[in-house]
């Protein structure tokens, strides 16, 4: 808890620091903006960080003199979210930011776009990309591949005997992001399965938005595999925590010398503590705060005519590998975001021929140079300078 208190104090310092960026003034007729956010998992701390990012951007727009009418809609079922989107159509906001409950809502999104409403998807994309102006989120398949390749390197270093035996834990059907992560794991494992180095014992579908339900599902399966499993590969944070709890409840050793768990994300303090103390070896960190923050600014840039996007526009947000030495630092990344000018510069590089781009990992923490539990403000590693000197500057929550 000392670590968490130190981070809390550091975050207070972060939010008092200023980063100056430039925003071009739009026509006076665009000074009133209506923004709706659709939250598919209000009980999920991860989505609360997306909400915080959106709220931060809304506050900044208001501080610049815009009248922002902002509303949040919570829905955990397809029928609820479709109903809310139908309501939105009648209210006609300028911008909606949405995390979809399921791909099944894409028809409603397409209708909203056809009515001139700007649709920004966060975290979860849909198959029909014509249903949105822009997707901002992780390149889930590549991130999963990156994480698993790092983990396999660890197994080799530890001389863990082969064949390595894996159980994949994915989400419920209809959530494309988790399906892509599972595909990423499978892409890495396929050649190893073919040469006998690895085996996939099974795939578990667990509720990615409800830890208790995920625990109930996983705990039923754990005895089936027993100690034969080298590692469980979870495509979601809550299922990974539930996986740890299920193995502990069954009396199995977790981590080095026992059963490994590979998770996805690095948000909840309980999860980060498991990484810091070595129970969980590593995870991949997404940036939900940045997703919400950038999504709101993207909608603003489109609405004010500062950004014209090609079809299928996609900005893949940064990811970071989290291990024991930088687990505390990763908590700081949950409350900062690269300034929106960086979003604009990324988006301006999109073309019809190349409608997707990967954002770099702007902030870095060198484990070898660690000097304390809470490091000094990270350096901003970017190829682009931040314009300054505008009388419409604002605090951007990051570091300059």
- Count how many domains the chain has: 2
- Alpha-carbon distance of 147 to 142, in angstroms, equals 9
Does residue 159 share a domain with residue 89? Answer: no
Pairing outcome for strands 320-322 and 164-170: unpaired
Whether 379 is covered by a domain: the verdict is: no
Decide if pLDDT at 24 tops 60: no
Could you read off the pLDDT of 161-208 as tens digits, one per residue? 999 999 999 988 888 788 999 999 999 999 999 999 999 999 999 998
* Cα 292 from chain centre: 9
Confidence grade of residue 373 (pLDDT, cut at 50, 70, 90): very low
User: Dihedral of CA 151/156/158/162: which sign?
Assistant: positive
Q: Phi and psi for 58 in degrees, rounded to 5?
A: -60, -45
> Which of 52-56, 136-140, 361-365 has the least mean pLDDT?
361-365
pLDDT of 149 over the 50 cut: yes
Question: Could you tell me which residues come within 8 angstroms of residue 116 by beta carbon, excluding any fewer than 6 positions away?
Answer: none
Domain limits at 294?
19-138+287-318+335-369
pLDDT of residue 331: 78
For the chain, how many residues are written? 400
Q: Where are the alpha helices (DSSP H) in the chain?
A: 2-14, 45-63, 78-91, 106-114, 140-157, 176-194, 211-225, 237-249, 269-276, 288-303, 327-333, 340-347
- pLDDT class of 74 with cuts at 50, 70, 90: very high
Mean pLDDT for the stretch of residues 98-116: 95
Lowest mean pLDDT among 220-234, 239-253, 265-279, 307-321: 265-279
pLDDT tens by residue, 251-267? 999 998 999 999 988 87
How confident is the model over 126-142, as pLDDT tens digits?
Answer: 999 999 999 999 999 99
Let me know whether 161 and 47 are in one domain: no
Is residue 377's pLDDT more than 50?
Answer: no
CA-closest candidate to residue 210, choices 30, 42, 376: 42
Spell out the residues 6+ positions from residue 239 whose beta carbon is closer than 8 angstroms to its own: 169, 171, 206, 207, 208, 211, 214, 218
Q: Are strands 164-170 and 314-316 parallel, antiparallel or unpaired?
A: unpaired
User: Does 246 share its domain with 123?
Assistant: no
**How confident is the model at residue 387, as a pLDDT?**
33
Residue 264 is assigned to a structural domain of this protein = yes
Based on the fold, state whether residues 176 and 253 are members of the same structural domain: yes
Percentage, residues of the chain above pLDDT 70? 83
Residue-level pLDDT at 29: 59
pLDDT at 380: 35
Looking up residue 342, the CATH number of its domain turns out to be 3.40.50.2300
Q: What's the pTM value of the predicted model, to 2 decimals?
A: 0.77
pLDDT in tens, 329-340: 777 778 878 888
Q: Is residue 281 part of a domain?
A: yes
In order, the DSSP letters of 228-260 are: G-SEEEESSHHHHHHHHHHHHHTT--BSTTSBE
Q: What's the rounded Cα separation, in Å, for the pair 205 and 344?
A: 38
At 222, list the tokens: 């754990």
């Amino acid at each position: 808890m000392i670590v968490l208190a130190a981070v809390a104090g550091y975050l207070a310092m972060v939010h008092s620091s200023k980063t100056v960026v430039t925003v071009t003034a739009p026509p006076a007729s665009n000074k009133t903006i209506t923004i709706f956010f659709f939250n598919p998992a209000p009980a999920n701390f991860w989505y609360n960080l997306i909400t915080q990012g959106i709220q931060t951007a809304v506050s900044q727009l208001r501080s610049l003199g815009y009248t922002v009418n902002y509303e949040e809609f919570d829905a955990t079922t397809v029928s609820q979210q479709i109903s809310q989107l139908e309501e939105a159509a009648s209210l006609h906001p300028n911008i909606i930011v949405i995390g979809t409950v399921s791909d099944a809502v894409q028809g409603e999104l397409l209708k909203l776009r056809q009515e001139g409403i700007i649709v920004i998807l966060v975290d979860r994309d849909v198959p029909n990309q014509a249903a949105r102006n822009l997707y901002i989120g992780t390149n889930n398949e590549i991130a999963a591949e990156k994480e698993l390749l790092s983990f396999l390197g660890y197994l080799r270093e530890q001389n863990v005997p082969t064949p390595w035996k894996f159980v994949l834990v994915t989400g419920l059907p209809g959530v494309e992001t988790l399906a892509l992560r599972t595909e990423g794991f499978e892409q890495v494992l396929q050649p190893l399965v073919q040469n006998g180095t690895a085996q996939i014992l099974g795939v578990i579908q667990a509720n990615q938005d409800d830890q208790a339900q995920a625990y109930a599902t996983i705990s039923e399966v754990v005895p089936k595999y027993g100690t034969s499993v080298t590692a469980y590969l979870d495509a979601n944070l809550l299922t990974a925590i539930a996986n740890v709890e299920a193995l502990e409840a069954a009396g199995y050793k977790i981590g080095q010398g026992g059963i490994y768990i590979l998770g996805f994300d690095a948000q909840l303090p309980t999860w980060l503590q498991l990484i810091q103390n070595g129970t969980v070896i590593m995870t991949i960190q997404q940036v939900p705060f940045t997703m919400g923050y950038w999504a709101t600014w993207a909608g603003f840039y489109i609405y004010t005519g500062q950004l014209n996007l090609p079809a299928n526009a996609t900005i893949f947000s940064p990811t970071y590998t989290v291990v024991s030495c930088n687990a505390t630092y990763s908590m700081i990344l949950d409350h900062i975001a690269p300034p929106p000018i960086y979003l604009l510069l990324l988006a301006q590089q999109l073309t019809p021929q190349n409608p997707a781009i990967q954002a770099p990992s702007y902030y870095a923490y060198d484990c070898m140079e660690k000097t304390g539990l809470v490091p000094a403000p990270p350096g901003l590693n970017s190829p682009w300078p931040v314009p300054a000197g505008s009388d419409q500057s604002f605090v951007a929550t990051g570091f300059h």
